[in-house]
Chain A
Amino acid sequence: MVEEVRFLSKRFDVEDGYTLDGYERTGGYRAVRKALEMEPTDIINVVKDSGLRGRGGAGFSTGMKWSFMPAAPVRPSYFICNADESEPGTYKDRWLLERDPHLLIEGIIIACLAIRSEHSFIYIRGEYEWPARRLGDAIVEAYERGYLGDDVFGTGRRVHITVHRGAGAYIAGEESALLDSLEGRRGFPRLRPPYPAQSGLYASPTTVNNVETICSVPGIIEHGAEWYRQWGTEDSTGTKLVCVSGEVRIPRVFEVAQGTPLRAIVEELCGGMIDDRPVKFFVPGGSSVRILPGDKLDVGLDFESMQEADSMLGTAALMVFSDRTCTLDAVLNWTQFYEHESCGKCTPCREGTFWLTQILTRLETGLGRRADIDIVEDACRQIEGRSFCALGDGAAQPPLSAIKYFRDEWEAHVEERGCPLGATPRAERVEPLFPFRTSEAGTIEPPRARLPLSPPEYADTAAAGRRGRDSA
């Protein structure tokens, strides 16, 4: 029987876990007090020893990332929390932000101490209004209590946090596009090198970490690296929040030790499939990884096992589908997402997703040709590894893997002139997602000049933070 771990999710069920009092009552802000006594290099070493790897998808060693930051910086260093959680199917960070914002704040303070940064930014997804509000309130509390500001815990150290709300672009979750967006430009991924640790935000040394990664840090500091290694495998240590969606009985976030087989999560934690349908296919890590057929459900939830199974852990957004779902329909849905979210900078991603959407729509609505399946495969291979950033790679994975495992189903779309499951898209699905304007002649109109922007509905949290600083 798989047990849920209560490490990151410790306060998910604590009613006032999001308040400072509730957080401290349940053991919060102990790790940071310990960290304040430690040398930056010691903090980094503990995190390195713990084997903690980035939870945003790439799985890079967090301790290593921190160690790239200059020990004697000439320019100010910045620490950035990537809370632009936009990967389809992913909502783990949202739970942390809503239910345990102080864990994130504590993690940020420790990270800032480790990389010698005095200013941190939280880039939060624009649609996360309520989590942003929770987070803002928590930051104000922390400022008022003197845990943030110019005199953190009375030690004279400075740590400030500014919350920045995104404007709803998936690409801004890409590390370097996030930096551009934060600087006030359009979110375009940057050329690397230079890497953020050399020249990131405002051309200064910068570290960007995912919310879940940062939230793991206080526990590691408090209990030590060995303690954290009690969970997980040799190379994928610790716990992982897995957010399950799809046709399961109980879709929600679970925390499990890394390496837990997905079948156990689906069958035991989620209570199995709705109506006990068979698992036809699943996506283990958000839409940017390869889909896997149902018979691979025994794969473990860790970086290596996923790789062996020819997919990726990604954000551990597990989407499970039964035989009622058409793979082509699912892939079309994701491809439309990528078409909409492509930043437009590079050719393969911009034109490839545009083309794929049209072909997939034709296939799904019965207008496809047999050659179209090969074209999709070929186009995906020319997007994968050719695009500027990982968005293009991600866009190519669903079609490629779906054709690999379910080619028969795709060919049936051609032969039967439509979806065998009857999942023909509704008319509006064919429409582009953009609300762009078309002229009477059917041509696309230029962008409207200076769209009036309505002011944000609630006070910006950075200003709230400054208020807190004054009163501290």
Chain B
Amino acid sequence: MSDGQDTVTLAIDGKQVTVPKGTLIIRAAEQMGVVIPRFCDHPLLDPAGACRQCIVEVEGQRKPMTSCTTPCQDDMVVKTHLTSQVARDAQRAQLEFLLINHPLDCPMCDKGGECPLQDQALEHGPGESRFIDEKRRYAKPVACSPNVLLDRERCVLCARCTRFASQISGDPFIELFERGPLMQVAIYEDEPYFSYFSGNVIQICPVGALTSASYRFRARPFDLESRPSVCNLCSAGCNINVHSRCGGVMRVVARDNMAVNEMWNCDKGRFSFKYLAHPQRLTQPMVRRHGELVGVSWIEALDTAAQRIRAAVDAGPGRTAVLTGGRIPDEDAYVVSRFVRTVLGSDDLDFRTRAAGPDEDAALAVVATRPAATYHDVEHAPLVIMVGLDPEEEVPILYLRLRKAWRDHGCRLVSIGPRAGTISELLWQRLPTPLGGEAALLDALASDSDLDAAAGEVRDALRDAGSQAVIVVGERGGLSGALAAAGRLADSLDAKLAWVPRRAGARGALDAGLVAGLLPGGRRLIDEADRAEVAAVWGELPATPGRRLTAVLEAAATGEIDVLHLIGVDLARDAHRPRLAKAALERVRTVIVQDLLDNETAGYADIVLPAAAAMERAGTFTDWEGRRQRFTLAVDPPQLAQEDWDILRQLALLLGRDLGFRDLDGVRAQMARLPASRLRAWPGPAETGTGRAGVPTGDGALRLLSYPLLLDRGVMGAGADDMLKTAKTPFAAINRADAERLGVRDGQPVTVASGHGRLTVLAAVEDDVVEGVVYVPSNSTDVPAATLAGDDGAPPTVTVEPTDEPVRPVAAGAGPWTAGDRGLPVQGARA
């Protein structure tokens, strides 16, 4: 335990215990198995000492002490409620005080059954109340946001929620108002608690004061079945518990894993589970007949698919292609990889729907062979450089950890790219670059060339930090060689690097080789030794590298592809070139859609295969750290839906190939047979073309930058209406100078248009986005922002003009949220 740090030894209830210096008494007692009752104390929040429930007796102290605020000291003699009458009396009294005003509505309270107040009142409290007077009565519930409802009568004013909002997530839109007995948690009527992390306050509330709008009155904790799982909505790898009742998911809560998500998760992870039972859910295989999709048996659907695939394979090479999205678990990615290479004999596959740089695959191959930086590294790094990453929007839990590093450890945060996003307020240095200019700047940081003042300071800090520095590169880093450049910079310092994709299955897909030309473990198809290692397990492999997303779509649009198998990907909406994608979908003879929900792409499908969602099966997800986390089935899949790997296994059998496994363990065993791959070196500047200044700016043109927000029109948000009301209204972030030039005011509706399309959004005038660039969320508008793109794949030039047209919020059909939406009292409305 000492771990080289100073320790102190004290006695708790007569037993000696040695703990690191600075440990609070309440934690030291926990280590001994003594649980001191508490409400305001939370291991990840600063001590408050507000509820006074955790009082213990410390010898030599005039007054009893709160164990949640008192650090252990050498030779301290502590007596808890187990050995001290003073502590027992004090704890009893505090509980009596707390219950004075608590409505005893446990039988109808959401928290009843899992309520610390209830549990501790039973264990430590007086059996009866001596209070016969008037309780405080408040109107209830008050909506703090569409997700979070507040019953002030139940509140014990522990300030956990307000401390979470101000200390952990940094969006203190709930605060304590008034004072004395009237003190209460509240919001301002025009500033609801819109936070990506608001659900956590519901979970850490020690009473039923904060309740979830989507769960309120829907189940009792003791009727719920809880299964551990891993969140499948981004690459953060949050550990969750899925609570279900009668086979339906009632809620999702964060599960403690101090190495990953600590005790938190984001609202998307917490509230996006309604898609599982959404009316649009695909529950039966379908085949298109006479222009209509009709329900068929699995045998018929798979047989049809196998026939079409066999015909395409027989027609010659390159007539089949498989595209996967980022949602499928690692095992399924592996099976897809093997299915495509050995059954279809093809290498035309891609797990991305976004644009990829010409040299991205070479850099990704390196990522797959190397250990990545971890949450722990990020938290304890003196310097973290973010490249092309907006962490709160893309991987929210990484944002929380970056914020913790900044707040608790004084970490210096640097962001490189055209837009830093919401983390910009925490940054030590912001190094803006034009679109695609990140690689040049990263190479300059690694060299001794002349830099401007800010970049020079970053270079000095980087060299001071040395191997302790961490570089995290977002998906957009692959577009312009920044990933490889960041890798070279990290290697020059022996620093740690991580590639941070958005989607839960992205890292697993990369590791499985779901990229044309890449085999599992970052092996390359053109490398003989690499091929041999994989062929030893898989058998014969295609000889030449295949086509990536864009090339596949182009080929498909010209009729060169007969079967397009889409596994968990809404190509029509998500592809970076939607017009090309739709042309391809129209042209391809057989489109197989293997997915969860009826989406735009399914409209083009000839065969629909319903798949089980992550919560409906077992599997593994690899998070951005490269951490593989297994999960188990939480609820059964609906009706006829099957697991992706199993669908492919059956399809392979119908095509005359046994992939060599019968169950998930078989897949895992086969994956383990592939030897570990060799560490690979980053592609040099010559390969990636260093010194790329990116897209030139200053010509007065505005170029479009686009990436998705956390809460948008993504299909996994289907049905989570309360959550979607907290989504940001579609906006266009535009630099102050550009806005002044164009006469655009902040908050004003504007039209962002190119020769190919137009969007109506709200202008957000800011300093974060660089001049000459307009940021628009990819998937928040009626048509995706990618429709503005031209056919050359380059960032489109757009115009921004004020308009009178209304802006449609993400939660379609809903206006801006007000507390009145729920028929609840609007704060201050009756003033």
Contact = CB atoms under 8 A, between A and B. Distances in A.
Given A344-B178, A449-B190, A444 B138 contact: yes
A362 B133 contact: yes
B671 to A, nearest CB: 51
27 contacts: A186-B176, A191-B47, A342-B179, A343-B180, A348-B97, A350-B183, A351-B101, A351-B181, A352-B97, A353-B180, A355-B131, A358-B133, A358-B134, A379-B93, A382-B89, A382-B90, A382-B96, A386-B64, A434-B178, A436-B178, A444-B136, A444-B139, A446-B138, A446-B186, A446-B828, A447-B828, A448-B831
B26 interface: no
B662 interface: no
Contacts of B142: 446
B63 A385 contact: yes
A341 interface: yes
B338 interface: no
Contact of A439 (B55, B97, B130, B830): B830
Given A347-B50, A355-B133, A386-B64, A342 B181 contact: yes
A445 interface: yes
Given A346-B51, A347-B52, A351-B101, A444 B182 contact: yes
Interface in A330-371: 339-348, 350-355, 358-359, 362, 371
A424 interface: no
A2 interface: no
Given A346-B49, A352-B97, A359-B133, A446 B139 contact: yes
User: Taking each of A186, A355, A437, A446, which has the highest tally of chain B beta carbons within 10 Å of its own beta carbon?
Assistant: A446
A386 B182 contact: no
Given A446-B186, A449-B828, A350 B139 contact: no
Contacts of A342: 179-181
User: Taking each of A352, A354, A362, A379, which has the highest tally of chain B beta carbons within 10 Å of its own beta carbon?
Assistant: A354
A27 interface: no
Nearest to A345: B50
A76 B97 CA distance: 42
A450 interface: yes
B223 interface: no
Interface in A13-36: none
Given A339-B180, A343-B179, A353-B181, A388 B50 contact: yes
A375 interface: yes
Given A343-B179, A347-B52, A447 B186 contact: yes
B147 interface: no
A443 interface: yes
Contacts of A441: 139
Interface in B48-95: 48-53, 55, 62-64, 69, 89-90, 93-94
A359 B133 CA distance: 8
B98 interface: yes
B827 A351 contact: no
A347 B130 contact: no
A114 interface: no
Contacts of B89: 382
Contact of A385 (B47, B64, B181, B828): B64
A169 interface: yes
Given A344-B182, A386-B63, A446-B184, 18 more contacts: A191-B48, A191-B69, A339-B181, A345-B183, A347-B50, A354-B100, A358-B134, A375-B130, A379-B93, A379-B97, A382-B89, A385-B64, A386-B90, A442-B137, A445-B139, A445-B830, A446-B138, A447-B184
9 pairs of A and B residues whose beta carbons are closest in the complex:
A344-B183, A382-B93, A358-B133, A351-B97, A354-B181, A449-B828, A342-B180, A385-B63, A443-B137
B157 A344 contact: yes
A450 B64 CA distance: 40
Nearest to B101: A351
Contact of B55 (A171, A344, A386, A446): A386
A387 interface: yes
Contacts of B97: 347-348, 350-352, 355, 379, 382
B188 interface: yes
Interface in A358-400: 358-359, 362, 371, 375, 378-379, 382, 385-388
B189 interface: yes
Contacts of A358: 133-134
B100 A355 contact: yes
A384 to B, nearest CB: 9
A129 B97 CA distance: 38
Interface string B177-205: 11111111010111000000000000000
A53 to B, nearest CB: 19
Q: Is the interface of A mostly helix, strand, loop or mixed?
A: loop
Contacts of B189: 449
A350 B181 contact: yes
Nearest to A358: B133
A347 B66 CA distance: 12
B685 interface: no
Contacts of A341: 180
Interface string B818-831: 00000001011011
Contacts of B157: 344-345, 347, 350
A388 B133 contact: no
B53 A449 contact: no
Nearest to B185: A446
B207 interface: no
A345 B52 CA distance: 10
B652 interface: no
B732 interface: no
A339 B182 CA distance: 10
Interface string B148-179: 00001000110100000000000000001111
A359 B276 CA distance: 54
A445 B134 CA distance: 16
B140 to A, nearest CB: 8
Contacts of B134: 358
Contacts of B48: 191, 345
A382 B89 CA distance: 8
Contact of B827 (A348, A354, A382, A449): A449
Contacts of A447: 177-178, 184, 186, 827-828
Nearest to B134: A358
Interface string B117-131: 000000000000011
Contacts of A446: 138-139, 142, 152, 177, 184, 186, 825, 827-828
Nearest to B47: A191
A347 B181 contact: no
Nearest to B133: A358
A450 B139 CA distance: 20
B180 A347 contact: no
A348 B52 contact: yes
A436 B69 contact: no
A3 B335 CA distance: 100
A340 to B, nearest CB: 6
A378 B188 CA distance: 39
